[in-house]
Chains A and B, each alone.
Chain A
Amino acid sequence: MNRRELLTKIGAGFGMVGLEALLRAEGGPPDPLAPKAPHFAPKAKRVIYLFLNGGPSQVDTFDPKPALDKYHGKPVPSGNLATERKTGNLMRSPFKFTKCGQSGVEVSEIFPKIGAMIDDICVIRSMYTDRPNHEPSLLLLNSGDKFPGRPSMGSWLTYGLGTMNRNLPGYIVLCPGLPVIGHQLWSSAFLPAVHQGTYLSLEERDPKKMIQNVRNPRLNADEQRRELDLLAALNHRHLAARAGDPQLEATIQSSEIAFRMQTEAPEAFDITTEPQVVRERYGDHDFGRGCLMARRLIERGVRMVQVYFGNFQPWDNHDDIELHRPLAAQADQPISALLQDLKASGLFKDTLVIIGGEFGRTPAVEVGGLVSVQNGRDHNNHGFSYLLAGAGVKGGMTYGATDEFGFKAVEKPVHVHDLHATVLHLLGFDHTRLTYQYSGRNFRLTDVAGAVVKDILA
C-alpha cells in the first residue's frame, strides 16, 4: 500500500495509526531521546541526586573536627574566611561522631542509619564552590556555572544517554514547593528542550494531580487516542512539507510521551501501592515520599531523578545548628531505606546516588544577621562534604580533607567541576567530549575545567 492509497483509506475511516507509522517510516529526524551509548562502558546507568538544599554543615555531619571542642569559643587562629555574614568564634558541634561500619568512617550521631551503611558510601570531605551565596552555588552544583543559562546535569545526561522509558520524562525533579532559584536549576538551557527536567511538587499527594493536566476530565482513553492519532497525522503532514524541522518533530514526540504519561506517571508516583511497611521505612514526610518515588522512577527507567529535601532552603541553619538534628532525622531514614532497597533489587550496582547540598557551613558561629539565637553557622563554600554511593564508587572511604577546623578544603580539594567530571565518568563519558555546539562554541557541563577523582572509583 503506497502513501496515496493509505490516505484514501483514511478518508474511508481506516484509522490513523497506520498513517503515522507510514509517515514515520518515510524518514524523520532521529529521536533525541533514543537510548545512546556513552563513550565507554559505564559503571552507572542512572542517577539519583538527593539535594539537601540550604547547605548542611560538614562539621556536624560527615567531617568530625575535634579541634572545635578544644578551641570552642576561641577565634579561628588564622582568621575567618569571608562568607556571607559576619562570623565570630569557633563553635563545637553539639553532636557526637562515632566510627561506623567495618571501615570505621566517622559519622555524626544524627545520621545513625546512614552511618550503618557507611561501608557502601564514599564521603568526599574536600568539596568547594566559588561563592558563599545560595544562588550561585545552587547553579554551580546543578549546571556547572554560577549564572543561569547553562544546561543542568540531568539535561546533559539525557542528552548524552537518551532515556530508557519513553512513557516517563527522562529527567524528573521532585521537591516539596520549590528550592531557591527554582526552575532554572533543571533547565536544559540551550540543549534541545526535551532534556529539560520535569518538575513535580511533592506537596501534592494525589498522584493524578501531581503532574499539571495529567488527567482528562472528559475523554476516555479511546477517545483521546483517536484525537492524538488525528493530531499525529496532521502534524506529520505539516512536518513533511517543512523538511523535517526538528522542533516540529519534537512536539510530535512530546504528544506521544504525554499520552503515555497519563497512565504510567500516576502509577509511578502512586506510592500507596507500596506495602505499608515499605512506606514506613521511608517515612511519611515529603522527603521520604520523594525518595520512595525516586526509587520507583529509577526502577521504571528514568535516567535521573533529583529530590530536593524541602521547600526553599531547610538546611540553612543560621540560627541554631541543633536544628540539624530533626532535619537529619528526616533525611537519614529515607536515604538509608533507598540505599537498602537499591541493594536488594540489584540496582545499586548501576545506579549512582549523590547526596549533598549547595555548600557547607562555617565552623565559626554566625554573629551577623538578625537571628533569634546565635547557635548557628553561616554559609561556607570553602569546604564541605558530599556523599556518593552505588555504581562504580568505593564504599567505606573518605576522600580529601578540610583544615583543622573544617573551614576550608585543603587536602585534595574537589571543585564542583571535578565532581561533575567524576559523575560523567561513572556514566561512561569523557567529560571533555560530552559537548554541545551552541552559538559557535562547544559547551560542556564542566566548562573548561574538571578532573575525574580517580581515587574514589571502585
Chain B
Amino acid sequence: MKGAIFLGSFSLFLLSTPASAGEREQFETEVRPLLANNCWGCHRQSAMGGLRLDSLAAILKGGKSGPAIVPGKPEGSLLLQAVSYTHDRLRMPPQGKLAAPQIAALTDWVKRGAYWPSDDVPPAPAAKNGEYVITKEQRAFWAFQPVHKPEPPPAAGRFNATAIDRFIGARLAQEGLTPAPRADKRTLIRRATFDLTGLPPTPDEVDAFLADNRPGAFARVVDRLLASPQYGERQARYWLDVARYSDDRFNSTDEDPYPESYRYRNWVIRAFNEDMPYNEFVKAQIAGDQMPASDPLKYRPGLGFYALSPEMQDDRVEATSKAFLGLTVACAQCHDHKFDPIPTKDFYSLQGVFDSTKLDEYPLVDRAAVDAWQARKKKVDQQHEVVTRFYSAQRDQLAEILASQTARFMLAAKGLAPSAGLDAETLDRWKKYLAGRRKDHPFLKSWFELEDRKAPEAEFRQAAAGFQELVLAIRQERKEVDEKNKITLGLNPTRDQIASATLVSLDRDKFVLWRDMYERPNKDAAGFFQSTDGVYYYGKGKIERFLTGAWKEYLEAQQAELARMEKELPPKYPFLQVVADVDKPADGRIHIRGSANNLGDVAPRRFLAILSNGDRKPFTHGAGRLELAEAIADPRNPLTARVMVNRLWQHHFGRGIVASPSNYGQMGDRPTHPELLDYLAARFVETGWSVKAIQREILLSETYALSATDNPANDAKDPANHLLWRANRQRLDIESLRDSILFVSGALDSKQADKAPRFDDKNTQRTVYGYVSRRRLDGTLALFDFPNPNNTAETRNTTNVPLQRLYFMNSPFVDKQAEALAARFTGDAPSRIRAMYRTLFNRQPDAVELRAGQAFVERGSWRNYAQVLLGSNEFLFVD
C-alpha cells in the first residue's frame, strides 16, 4: 500500500512488453528475486563458469557447459537440472539446494517460455565485493545532477520581464503557442488572494488595488498578502498534506485521538508565516531536538512530522524520502529499487536511523511540575491496577468455584437436583445455555440426546459429572496455551514476529466451550463474537454481589479511593509530541526480501549513495537524525530545493514543473521546464531558502498573470496546458471553500485554534484547524477530495459529483451561512445584490444579473438568493 501514487508510471514501463500479467508477475515476484538472491552473487558481473544469469540473452547463450535453459522445455534445461541437484556434476547453488517451491517456480517459468521483460533496466550495477555499485548511466539521470543556475533565454515582448517569464516565454515561442492575454486586475487580486491566503479579497482591498495606478501596485498586494497571518494558514495545509498530518492514530475499530497533535500543525503555520528558512524547516522536522536555538521551542515542535506517523505500518523512510527528496526509497525495502539507484542496503541505512528513534513527549512545564503530575498519575494507575487485579483475581476464583459446581448446575437446570445452595443467576444462565440446544455444540450433543430420549436420571448424572471435568480441564489447558505463546513470542513482539511465529491454541471445540464458559462478551474483526457473558463470567458490576464482609469492604474502599484520586488528578500538563533517540542507537541489518526473519548484512546508518559524493561517512551522533537532516538540507543536495520549489509552483499553477512532485525517479515525470526548475532551486538557496521570496518571484511574473482564456489553436497543440500558455482555472479546495463561505457570510472566526475542533455546526474556525481523522475522515472533507492522511499526498484531486451539489443545496452549514450572508446587507434590492456580488465575486453585477436577482427576491427570500450565489460556479472556481 505504500507509494506508487504516480498514475500509470508502471504501465509506461510495460507498454513495450506485450506479456500477460501472469508472466510478468511470476517473473518479478518469483523468478527475479530468486535469481537475484541465489545466483547473481556469482553469475552476474563475475560470470563464473562463463555464465551470466541477468538477461535472457545471457541465459540462452549459457556458459561453458552450454545454454542454461531451453524455453518451453524444462527437461532439457541445464539450469533446472543443476538447481534440482539431478545433474551428475552441477549442483547449484553450491551452498544449499533451493526450496521445492522455488525450483517449481523456476521450472514453471521455463515451461511457460522463460519470459523476460524486453525493456528490462540495464543489468549493469557492478557488484564490487558484493556491494551495489551505481552506474554512470544512473548517475547521469537528470534529477541527480547538481543544481546549476542557468541563464534565462531571451524571450519576446511581455515575456521578457522576469527570469521565470523568459524560460516560459521561450518555450511557448518554440512550440508556437500564443500566450493568453494578461488577466484583468480584479481577476489577478482574486487569484493571488486565494492562492496566498485561501480566502477571497474584501471589496475594499479590490477597490484599493483598482485605484492604485502607480507602478508596483500588484507587488504591494502580494507583499501585503505574504505578510498576513492567513498566509501561513493557507500554505501550512499544503505541507500538512505532504506530512500526512492527522489528529488521530489509524485504528480500525476505535477512535484514538492524539492529545497534542495541533502543536505541530500550529508550528507549521508559524514557520510559514515567519518564513523560516526551508533548510531549517526540514531539519527541525527531522532533528529539531538537536538544533542549537535560544528558544527550545523554535524547532522542536517540528518533530511532530514523525511523532504523528501512522502507526499501523512504519512509513518513516517513505515519508522522509518522498516529502523532502522526491524519492521512493521505500520501494527498496524488499529488493534493490527496480528503477532508481537505491539499493536495499540504503533503505535499511535510513531505517536504522528511525529504528534508533522513539516516540517521546517534551513537556511544556518545568521538571518539577512534570514529576509531580507523573507521581500522582502513577498513584492513580497503581490504584487502578489494585482494583483491576482484585476484580480479575476474584473473577478467576469465582469462575473456578462455580465451575466446580457444574454438574449440580446442569442437573438443577433440568430439575434433577435441588437449586438450593446454587447461585440463582448462574443457574439461570445455565438454563438458558442448555435451552439454546445448539445442534452444533461439540460437547453437549450427547446431553441433548439424553433429553430427547428422556434418559434415566443416572445417565444425566453421569454426563453432568463428565462435563464438569471437561470444563475444568479446558480451563487448565487454556492457561497452558497462553503460557506457551508468551514464551514463544517474548516481550512486546512485533506484528511481523507474531505473523511468522508458530503459535498454539486450544482446538476449536474446546475454544468454543472455553469461550462460552469463561469469556467476556466480545466481537473481533473477523466477526468471531459472543454477545453475552460466559456462564461463569462475572465482570465488574456483576461480581460485587458475590463479595461480602471483608472482601466487600475492601473493594468499596479501594474503589472510593480510586474515584477520589481520579477526580483530584489535574489534566495532564501540556507537552509536545516528539521523537527522541533511543538509549543505544544501533545499525540495523538488511531484511532480505523484506522479512525480519531473514537478516542480511549490517546496513550502517548513513545517507543514500546516489546523493552522496565519494565516501559516505556513517552517522555517529546518536541515531543520526541530525546528520541525516543536514545531508538532506545541504545546498549541494540536488533534490531538496528542486522538490520544494516545485511544490510551490504546483500550488500556484495547479501542476508542478515536475508533475509527480514526490517522485523524481525514473518512474516520475520529467520536468516540463528543467532549466526553470533549476533556476528556481538555485534562487531558493540564494535567498536563504525563503519560501516567501520564491512565491513573490512567481506571483510577480507575467506567467502568473495570464488569464485563463482558452485558445483553440493552442488547445490542439497543448490541450493540458503543460507549457502554461494560459492560467489554469482552479476549483477551490475544501479548505478555501468552507473558509470562504464563512468569510463572506461574516461568520469566520479568525483566531488560531489551540485544539482540533470537530466540524460541527458551531465550528466557524478556519478549516485547517479542524479535526483530521485517519480512521474516518469528516464527511464534508471527504466529499471535496481532502487527501487520505495515511499517505504522503502530493496533489489534490478535483472531483465533481452530484453529492457535492447536494451539499450546496441542502446542507445545514450552507443554509446557515446563506442566512447570515443575506442578513449582512440592508437597503433596497439593487444595493443588496450589488453588495453581495462585490463580497462574493469582487465585481458589480451587470444589468441582467441585477434584474435576475431582483426578479428572484420578489418571489423568494434573500436567504435563498444568498444560497444560490454561494453555490455558483463563480464562487467555486478561481479564474
CB B720 to nearest CB in A, in angstroms, measures 8
Interface pair A369/B499, CB less than 8 Å apart = yes
- How does the 8 Å CB contact mask read for B1-36 relative to A, with 1 for contact and 0 for none? 101111110111011011111101100010000000
How far, in angstroms, from A30 to B54 measured CA to CA in the complex? 52
Q: Contacting chain A: which of B40-48, B680-688, B795-803?
A: B795-803
CB A430 to nearest CB in B, in angstroms, measures 15
A22: Cβ under 8 A from any B Cβ: no
How far, in angstroms, from A56 to B708 measured CA to CA in the complex? 52
B696: Cβ under 8 A from any A Cβ: no
B798-823 contacts to A (CB < 8 Å): 798-807, 809-812, 815
Interface pair B14/A447, CB less than 8 Å apart = yes
Interface pair B500/A86, CB less than 8 Å apart = yes
CB B131 to nearest CB in A, in angstroms, measures 28
CB B740 to nearest CB in A, in angstroms, measures 16
Interface pair A226/B860, CB less than 8 Å apart = yes
CB B687 to nearest CB in A, in angstroms, measures 32
B420: Cβ under 8 A from any A Cβ: no
Within the complex, which residue of B3, B17, B811, B873 is in contact with A147, where a contact is CB–CB below 8 Å? B3
B779: Cβ under 8 A from any A Cβ: yes
Residues of B within 8 A of A216 (CB): 809-810, 815
Residues of A within 8 A of B104 (CB): 78
Within the complex, which residue of B24, B806, B865 is in contact with A212, where a contact is CB–CB below 8 Å? B806
Contact A254 B800, CB 8 Å, known A367-B502, A373-B506, A439-B8: yes
A457: Cβ under 8 A from any B Cβ: no
Q: Contacting chain A: which of B356-364, B524-532, B600-608?
A: B524-532
Contact A196 B872, CB 8 Å, known A149-B4, A242-B729, A367-B503: no
A168-211 contacts to B (CB < 8 Å): 169, 178, 183-184, 187-190, 192-194, 196, 198, 211
A385: Cβ under 8 A from any B Cβ: no
Residues of B within 8 A of A184 (CB): 788
CB A27 to nearest CB in B, in angstroms, measures 14
B864: Cβ under 8 A from any A Cβ: yes
Interface pair A370/B485, CB less than 8 Å apart = yes
How far, in angstroms, from A186 to B809 measured CA to CA in the complex? 24
How far, in angstroms, from A364 to B227 measured CA to CA in the complex? 65
Closest to A255 in B: B805
Interface pair A214/B528, CB less than 8 Å apart = no
Main secondary structure of the interface of A (DSSP, over half): loop
How far, in angstroms, from A223 to B804 measured CA to CA in the complex? 20
Interface pair A212/B807, CB less than 8 Å apart = yes
A323: Cβ under 8 A from any B Cβ: yes
How far, in angstroms, from A86 to B17 measured CA to CA in the complex? 35
Interface pair A213/B8, CB less than 8 Å apart = no
Interface pair B503/A441, CB less than 8 Å apart = no
How far, in angstroms, from A187 to B788 measured CA to CA in the complex? 13
- How does the 8 Å CB contact mask read for A312-339 relative to B, with 1 for contact and 0 for none? 1110111110110011000000000000
CB B121 to nearest CB in A, in angstroms, measures 17
* B-side interface residues, number (CB < 8 Å): 99
User: Among the interface residues B501, B847, B854, which one has the most CB atoms of the partner chain A within 10 A?
Assistant: B501
Within the complex, which residue of B252, B508, B810, B874 is in contact with A320, where a contact is CB–CB below 8 Å? B508
Residues of A within 8 A of B731 (CB): 247
- How does the 8 Å CB contact mask read for B810-843 relative to A, with 1 for contact and 0 for none? 1110010000000000000000000000000000
A235-276 contacts to B (CB < 8 Å): 235, 237-239, 242-243, 245, 247-248, 250-252, 254-255, 257-259, 261-262
Interface pair A258/B803, CB less than 8 Å apart = yes
Interface pair B21/A11, CB less than 8 Å apart = no
Contact A219 B729, CB 8 Å, known A169-B801, A189-B7, A320-B508: no
Interface pair A449/B498, CB less than 8 Å apart = no
Interface pair B852/A230, CB less than 8 Å apart = yes
Within the complex, which residue of B498, B515, B802, B852 is in contact with A234, where a contact is CB–CB below 8 Å? B852
CB B822 to nearest CB in A, in angstroms, measures 13
Interface pair A258/B805, CB less than 8 Å apart = yes
Residues of A within 8 A of B512 (CB): 373
Residues of B within 8 A of A228 (CB): 809
Within the complex, which residue of A196, A247, A449 is in contact with B19, where a contact is CB–CB below 8 Å? A449
B100: Cβ under 8 A from any A Cβ: yes
Residues of B within 8 A of A406 (CB): none
Interface pair B505/A13, CB less than 8 Å apart = no
Contact A447 B806, CB 8 Å, known A230-B856, A367-B503: no
Residues of A within 8 A of B527 (CB): 310, 314, 317, 323, 326-327
A368: Cβ under 8 A from any B Cβ: yes
* A-side interface residues, number (CB < 8 Å): 114
Contact A248 B877, CB 8 Å, known A10-B851, A317-B526, A368-B499: yes
Within the complex, which residue of A413, A418, A441 is in contact with B8, where a contact is CB–CB below 8 Å? A441
B511: Cβ under 8 A from any A Cβ: yes
Interface pair B502/A88, CB less than 8 Å apart = yes
Interface pair B5/A213, CB less than 8 Å apart = no
A451: Cβ under 8 A from any B Cβ: yes
Contact A258 B503, CB 8 Å, known A12-B855, A189-B7, A323-B527: no
Interface pair B511/A373, CB less than 8 Å apart = yes
Contact A415 B802, CB 8 Å, known A217-B812, A312-B525, A439-B669: no
Residues of A within 8 A of B807 (CB): 212-213
Residues of B within 8 A of A88 (CB): 502
Contact A368 B811, CB 8 Å, known A147-B5, A212-B803: no
Closest to A78 in B: B100
Interface pair A224/B809, CB less than 8 Å apart = yes
Interface pair B802/A169, CB less than 8 Å apart = yes
Closest to A321 in B: B508
Interface pair A369/B505, CB less than 8 Å apart = no
A434: Cβ under 8 A from any B Cβ: no
Interface pair B801/A196, CB less than 8 Å apart = yes
B858: Cβ under 8 A from any A Cβ: yes
A130: Cβ under 8 A from any B Cβ: yes
CB B537 to nearest CB in A, in angstroms, measures 15
Closest to B101 in A: A79
- How does the 8 Å CB contact mask read for B251-276 relative to A, with 1 for contact and 0 for none? 01000000000000000000000000
Residues of A within 8 A of B779 (CB): 212
CB A303 to nearest CB in B, in angstroms, measures 15
A375: Cβ under 8 A from any B Cβ: yes
A450: Cβ under 8 A from any B Cβ: yes
Interface pair B806/A312, CB less than 8 Å apart = no
A116-131 contacts to B (CB < 8 Å): 128, 130
B782: Cβ under 8 A from any A Cβ: yes
Interface pair A85/B499, CB less than 8 Å apart = yes
- How does the 8 Å CB contact mask read for A78-111 relative to B, with 1 for contact and 0 for none? 1111101110100000000000000000000000
Interface pair B14/A448, CB less than 8 Å apart = yes
B689-709 contacts to A (CB < 8 Å): 708-709
Interface pair A223/B860, CB less than 8 Å apart = yes
Residues of A within 8 A of B21 (CB): 130, 415-417, 447-450
B314: Cβ under 8 A from any A Cβ: no
Residues of B within 8 A of A312 (CB): 252, 525
Within the complex, which residue of A231, A243, A316, A372 is in contact with B709, where a contact is CB–CB below 8 Å? A243
Interface pair A85/B500, CB less than 8 Å apart = yes
B293: Cβ under 8 A from any A Cβ: no
A–B Cβ pairs within 8 angstroms, 17 of them: A10-B855, A82-B101, A86-B501, A86-B502, A130-B21, A148-B4, A183-B782, A190-B7, A213-B809, A227-B864, A230-B865, A242-B729, A250-B800, A255-B802, A258-B805, A449-B19, A450-B20
A residues neighboring B (CB under 8 Å): 7, 10-13, 16, 54, 78-82, 84-86, 88, 128, 130, 133, 135-136, 145-150, 169, 178, 183-184, 187-190, 192-194, 196, 198, 211-219, 223-224, 226-228, 230-231, 233-235, 237-239, 242-243, 245, 247-248, 250-252, 254-255, 257-259, 261-262, 310, 312-314, 316-320, 322-323, 326-327, 367-376, 413, 415-418, 438-439, 441, 443, 447-451
Closest 6 CB pairs of A and B: A11-B851, A193-B799, A147-B4, A449-B21, A258-B805, A373-B511
